[in-house]
Every structure is written in structure tokens, then in C-alpha cells.
A and B are shown apart, each in its own frame.
Chain A
Amino acid sequence: SGSITGLLSALCDCSLSGVSWKRRALGGVSREGFHRALKKRAYSALLSKLFQDGTKGSPSRPSAAANTPPRNKVLMMCFDLRLAGCREEAEALEDQLERLPEGASSGLKEVDSVLELLVSLAGSAPPPSTSF
């Protein structure tokens, strides 16, 4: 479904991929029950953030970070990566940013919002495991 509720439900499904339900069913944890609990937490996180944004400071003085375009934030991350000695990663990120089309040519309505989301999630996943 393309509705917000349908998409949030699909996001909950994604976060349950890879979970084995056979063993958990024995302990009384059903997929449906856990899916419902996840949806509740998702809505709670979404709404609390929205209300927090609505009461945060005066709209006439937004923070510098809030005013920085997401593309500039990514460039700042590239700079940080270079400082940390990760030149290859920085160059790869700059290359991809150059390839990212702007506005209507991207085919998406909100490409900058998606980039803003990626910036917010940067480094939030555990580092890839190294195999021996």
C-alpha cells in the first residue's frame, strides 16, 4: 500500500526479516503480536519527534545545522573522513554525491529529504563483520 500506515507497516516487516518464529512461537511470541508492538513503537517515535519539533525554540532562529542543505552535510562528512585518513571512502562519497541528480531530474519529489534521512542514519548500523 502507498499510504503512510501501509508503508510504516512494511517498514516493520523489513525489521522482522531474518527472525525465526518457530522457536519464538513456543515461548508465546507470535509474529503478529510482535508486529503490532513494533507498529506501536514506530508511531510513538514518529509522533514524539513531530511534537518535539513543534515546540522546539523559536522558528525565527533555527539552528545552523537545520539550515545546512543535506548535500553540504554530506560534503562535511567527506571532509571528516579525509581528516580520519579514509581518503578512498571520502572520494567515493563525493563521486556519488556528484552523480545524484537534483530536483525534478532525479525522478523523485523529495530527493533532498531522503539525503537528509541518510545523513541522520549515518553510522547507525553495526560495522560489517570481518570473516576469518
Chain B
Amino acid sequence: MASATNTNLNAVRETMDVLLEISRLLNTGLDMESLSICVRLCEQGINPEALSAVIKELRKASETLKMF
């Protein structure tokens, strides 16, 4: 049982590393923390295009704040 959990954890870790590298190569601007949150939101059934719109909106808003 514990071994199966460890195997799954290792699989998740490896997948996350590959996703982070793809994210970097595609210049998405996501760091590991925000990527992990996005993965969990996708797992909750959030549409990826809608999530992309949310991230772009949050960036716009925080950029505005950083200008002042």
C-alpha cells in the first residue's frame, strides 16, 4: 500500500518536472507554485482555456499595481 503511494508520488513529481520544463520552453511565465495550483484546478474540472483567461487577467491587474 505504502509502496503504491510512493510510486504514485514519484510519478506525479516526474510529471510535474516535465510540465514545468515544457512551461519554461513555451514561455508561459508560470513558476512551480502557480503551475501546481493550476494542475489542481484542472483536476477539479476547470476548463484550461478559462483558467488561461484568469491567469492573463491576474497578470494584467498586478502589472497595473506594480506601475504605481
**With A121-B28, A125-B28: A12-B19 Cβ-Cβ less than 8 Å:** no
Bound complex: CA of A99 vs CA of B16, how far in Å?
11
Among A77, A105, A125, the one with the most B-chain Cβ atoms within 10 Å of its Cβ is A125
- Nearest opposing residue in chain B for A81, CB measure: B25
State whether A121 touches B26 (Cβ < 8 A): yes
Asked if B27 is at the interface of the complex by the 8 Å CB criterion, the answer is yes
**With A42-B54, A77-B26, A96-B21: A114-B49 Cβ-Cβ less than 8 Å:** no
Asked if A58 is at the interface of the complex by the 8 Å CB criterion, the answer is no
A residues less than 8 Å from B41 (CB atoms): 4, 7-8, 11
Among B12, B21, B53, the one with the most A-chain Cβ atoms within 10 Å of its Cβ is B53
Bound complex: CA of A115 vs CA of B49, how far in Å?
11
State whether A49 touches B40 (Cβ < 8 A): no
Count of A interface residues, CB-CB < 8 Å: 59
Q: Main SS of chain A's interface residues?
A: helix
Bound complex: CA of A3 vs CA of B40, how far in Å?
9
State whether A122 touches B57 (Cβ < 8 A): no
Q: Main SS of chain B's interface residues?
A: helix
> On chain B, which size bracket covers the interface?
35 or more
B residues less than 8 Å from A7 (CB atoms): 37, 40-41, 44
State whether B56 touches A14 (Cβ < 8 A): no
Besides the contacts A7-B44, A122-B28, what 14 more A-B pairs have beta carbons closer than 8 Å? A4-B41, A4-B46, A11-B41, A11-B58, A38-B58, A49-B50, A107-B10, A107-B14, A110-B42, A113-B42, A121-B29, A121-B56, A124-B27, A124-B28
